[in-house]
Structure 1
């Protein structure tokens, strides 16, 4: 049985002081949680502070992005060695906001996924369709391309080390949420795509999160679906009690 994973993506929110307060709140609620993998993904400026706070707990730290390069003249980027020095274990890659605002392509995202796996970091690969895609009936086509291209050349035995996050773009930060049935349908499709790519064993092992406005109120129904293995949480992750409520729904 796949262990649920709930990751909080704080995005461009929280000063260091605010991040410390939030991390301490999550720690009070979830320090001893073993039933669900819990990951906090603060902004780069707060990674060290958050990592220090959760260092002796079951809570892991993630990064919101990572360069595909090892080092060099890449202004504004951050590489794997910098993240690992701060005890980062997960990296969010290909988030819809990175795709839309910074024009990240599937090829570019794939390079990051490969680099993360090479360096023993666990990528959280984000995939998902826009409202226009959904209304035109292109959801599966769009998601399949993102999965196949984002995970190109990833070996079957690496799928236990990565996470796929399905995030319908139309449900991110809008208050809208896919129904449990809609989310399950796409999660099952993603798992079937992985099976076609690398086989049934890897498909059964890979964890697939839902990333579209999950909250304590809808988390139990979403997390009860057979192919939904957790959540990539945005807004609700900025409140310790709400985030803990989602995690507890996965226990």
Structure 2
């Protein structure tokens, strides 16, 4: 019979121990402390088979989040499927920047472009209950998943709308716009590595130099922002300078830049000072 300690030893040379632990916790429906405290716990035949199937898929490169169907982001747990990008710790910088700009009790309308699993929109709505968030995505499957996440997390101050970027919005305006759009160039070799191989290209790749989606988001944002409203977005490690140029060309001022732990600019934005005509 398989034990927790035995399975950890068996797979340690093949995969990272953290991945092994996460998948074992998932199959047994226990936490990490249980694994440590019960090394001789006997897995049932069904549990052993399920665990081995997951480990084989992980060895083939399938992301842990897709295997477990969940991913932690900020202080919440989100359901994820292969229809959406896996929420990443780097994007928490975008959340921190947005929350710092919105007072806790301040009512306003925020737009999340390309919501995917809803991680950004739901986290903002959960932490700023007086804010109303509009979450857009072109993928119906992504919107269905985001709605499930909002319901499971009891977040109601949010609307989900099917839209190709701003197309479905009409004349509505917002106090802030946030986005984590596709920004990887189609020829980038990273697309053939790691988890990216299994994630939806629609959520990763932008045409030409990786800036096509950002160009559209930035250039059209003034049409949908109140005067003094802001735009914030995540971008690639080498795109900050180009994004600043795009922001300036679109009339944004008081440009914002936030760097990650490696001191690489990852979030950019600015304030809209003119009323679009």
Fold match, TM over 0.5?
no
The higher-RCO structure (CA 8 Å, 6+ apart) is: 1
Taking structure 1 as the reference length, what is the TM-score of the superposition? 0.35
Name the structure with the higher helix share. 1
Bigger fraction of residues in strand:
2
TM-score after normalising by structure 2: 0.33
